[in-house]
Structure formats: C-alpha cells, structure tokens
Amino acid sequence: MLKINRNKILGFFGVLIAIFILVVLLYKPVIFQEGNPWPQIKGIMQLKFGDADIVKLSGSDNKFMTESKNGTTIHDFMKTKGYEFTEQMGSGYFFKSATGQTAVATHRYYSRHYSLWNITENINNTESNNDLWTTITTSDGITFQYPKEILSEYISEAQWPPKLIIEDRPFICNPSGNEIQQGGQTEQRLVDNRVYCITKESEGVAGSIYTAYTYEFPKDNQTGVITFTLRFVQCQNYDEPKASECESERSAFDIDGTVDRIVQSIKIKSKQLSIAEELKDCLPKSDMDSYERCNELLETIRNFDDCVKAGFSIMKSNPPQCATVDGRTFTDETNSTWDVALTALNSCEVESVFQTHSKLVTLNLKNGNELTAYEPQIDDVMEVVDGLKGGCSDVRMATE
C-alpha cells in the first residue's frame, strides 16, 4: 500500500513538472522577455494575493508593475508622489508637480494581463519632458515645439517633424468621407475644450498602415494647419503575446493631446512695422502711450531721407525739402544714393570719408569729385570702411 501511494505521489509530481515545463516552453517569450523572470513573477504574486494595485519590482528603483485592466492606477500612484497627469503620447504618460518638476511613466505590456512601468522623475525642473521636446522655427517665422519621437513600440514616425503653416482664411470644418478612401475622413473634435478639424487618410503598404493626419484650428482670425504621417504596424503580423500588446497599444494611442500641446506652443513673429506705418497708427491717437511712441519715432528722423521714409511729403522747393509734424524741415543735401556710395567704397575709389550726426556721409573720391549720401543707420559707413582693410589702401575717416 505504501509503495502504491508513493508511486501515485511521484506520478502526481511528475505531471506537475511536465505541466510546468510545458507552460515554460509555451510562454517562454513572455516569461523571459525582461531577462531574469523572478522580479516579474514576484510582482504578479504580490498583485494577485496582496492588496496593492501597483508594486515596485525587486532590483530596480524605477520599475513598477500593475494589472493591465486597471488603467488609472498609474495616475493615482503619481498623485501620491505629488504629480498631476498632463498628457499621453504613445506609451509615455507625462506628469507635472506643483513645483514645476516633471516625470514620465513609460508603459509596456508583460503579457496581456500585466503592465510594466518605467518612471523617470526630472528633478532639474525643465519644461522639455526629459529632453523629449525640441523647438523649431519655420521659414515663415513661426516657432513651435514638437516631440523628437513618438513613445510607442508598434507606432513610428513616417513624415516627421510635423509641418505647420498659417493660412489667411477663416476656420471652417466640413465633416465628411472615410479614412480609407481618397481624401480621407474629416471630423470636428474638441481637445481640452479647443476645437480642431481633423482629417485622417490611411493606406496599407507592406504589412503596415500609413496614416496621414491634418489638424486645422483657428489662430488669430486665420487657420493653422499641422500635417504629419505615422506608421502603424499591422498587429496580425505578430504572434502572441506581441499581437495583443500591439492591439492594446493601438487602442490606447492618442495623438490629439500631443498635437494640442504643439499648437499651444506656437509663437508667430509679428510683422515689424515701418516708421511710416507706426506713425500713421499713433499720430491720430490722443492717449499718452501713443504720444510717447510718436515722439520716440520722430526723434529717429535726422535727415531728408529719414523724413521721406517716415511718410512725410516732399515740398516743392529747390533743393527738395521735407517737413515733419513737429515743425522740423530737412533739406536734401545729397548728390547721390547710399548704393552708389557703397559701390565707390568697394571699388577703392574713395580717399576719405566724413560722417555727420544727421547720417550724411561725404566721400572724397580719388579723382577729385565729392559724393554725398545718407547712410541707413549711424556708423554704417564706418563698418564698411573697416571691412575694406587689406582690400583697398587706407581710407581716412572723420566724424562730426
């Protein structure tokens, strides 16, 4: 009887060992995906039989595990550390504390039931989310921030960084179409209470889906347009557990928040008005700020050319004269233009130069003639003469 019982016990343990070996063989890619499986196995046991919703894995200061079904666990955990959720970008969840410190929690699946989190806290108090975001300025003078990469395993950048333009037209959105048809699908959507017109056009190529995005939004009575393309791997190309991980990442992926942050970072370089345009704006006004601004602009007018460029009329006289609104009159003392003066200097035809406070420049030429012109800014002629050293013989320089 004892021998029979012993054989049954040995057989039972043999079956258990066989099942264990079979499970290890079948789920080897999952079990060993992080190398040593013990920290993950221990974490699963703690989640399964303990009260905690999130556990720190042994042997690491910043790696944690949660059950995948508890999607808000990481938000609650970061709150206990003093952080509030700000945005999600792919597999990255960004947080910010009341003191301005930032943190990013990067997510990946450990089987379909459990999630691993790498949490990096940025104690340097920067605004760049651990140097992920960078700044670019377009040829139109538009500056904005964008992430260097999308933090996703199965989603990547195809046409990146995003292109941004501002079009001089009113913002209008006409929802229509289908994502997989020509022209794509257009829908109006609110992102953090800001309105966007979003068009998506998708095309399958060689095991991947390429989706072109166009986000339109109102900007200063005009319409801003952001375009980019992302590549989505077709999840059925993978075996388990990666297929499920891919599907889960796709379903959780949200690019709207990222685009909204890009839009909020936009800075448009304002067009610099000419003196004539500024004077035209401030002269009719009676408030003190406009009065002071006009006086500042009038003080920059020092000669006939300045007067004309400021928009004041040339009087019928010989030589020509120009009068400003503050009672000053300027006479054209020149016999040439600044462009001609530059040509003479660069051709080594000038012997000496005299400059006045009114920006009148007198060039004494080597042939005995005299050329007079107004320089655009005071001391411009000095910079030109300095640049001639070695190219021409020394040009004598004198100022008033």
Q: Single out the residue of 140, 121, 131, 115 nearest to residue 55, CA to CA.
A: 115
pLDDT at 214: 96
pLDDT at 370: 93
CA neighbours closer than 13 Å in the CB half-sphere of residue 75: 8
pLDDT at 159: 94
- Which class is 338-399 in CATH? alpha beta
Number of other residues whose CB lies within 10 A of the CB of residue 223: 19
Residue 50 DSSP label: S
Can you tell me the distance from the alpha carbon of 268 to that of 274, in angstroms, rounded to the nearest whole number? 18
Residue-wise pLDDT tens for the chain (400 aa)? 445 566 666 666 666 665 655 555 555 555 555 557 778 888 888 888 888 889 888 877 788 989 877 777 888 888 988 888 887 776 778 888 887 788 888 887 777 788 888 888 775 544 444 467 889 988 888 999 998 888 888 899 999 999 999 998 999 999 998 888 888 999 999 988 899 999 999 998 888 999 999 999 999 889 999 999 999 999 988 888 788 888 878 877 889 989 999 999 999 876 667 888 889 989 998 889 889 999 999 999 999 989 988 989 888 888 889 999 999 999 999 998 998 888 888 888 899 999 998 899 999 998 889 999 999 888 888 888 888 766 787 888 888 8
Q: With beta carbons less than 8 A apart as the criterion, state whether 106 and 249 touch.
A: no
CA neighbours closer than 13 Å in the CB half-sphere of residue 229: 13
pLDDT at 1: 46
pLDDT at 216: 96
Q: Give me the CATH topology for the region 133-268.
A: Jelly Rolls (2.60.120)
Q: Write down the pTM of the prediction.
A: 0.51
Domain ranges in the chain are 19-122, 133-268, 275-331, 338-399
Count Cβ atoms within 10 A of the Cβ of residue 379 and give its class: 0-12 exposed, 13-18 middle, 19 or more buried: exposed
pLDDT at 6: 64
CATH number of 19-122: 3.30.310
- Sign of the Cα pseudo-torsion (278, 282, 288, 289, in order): negative
153, 232, 238 from 206: Cα distances, Å: 18, 11, 14
Say whether 133-268 and 19-122 share the same fold. Answer: no
pLDDT at 295: 92
Taking the alpha carbons at both ends of the chain, their separation in whole angstroms is 125
Can you tell me the distance from the alpha carbon of 146 to that of 159, in angstroms, rounded to the nearest whole number? 13
**Which residues on adjacent β-strands are paired with residue 389?**
392
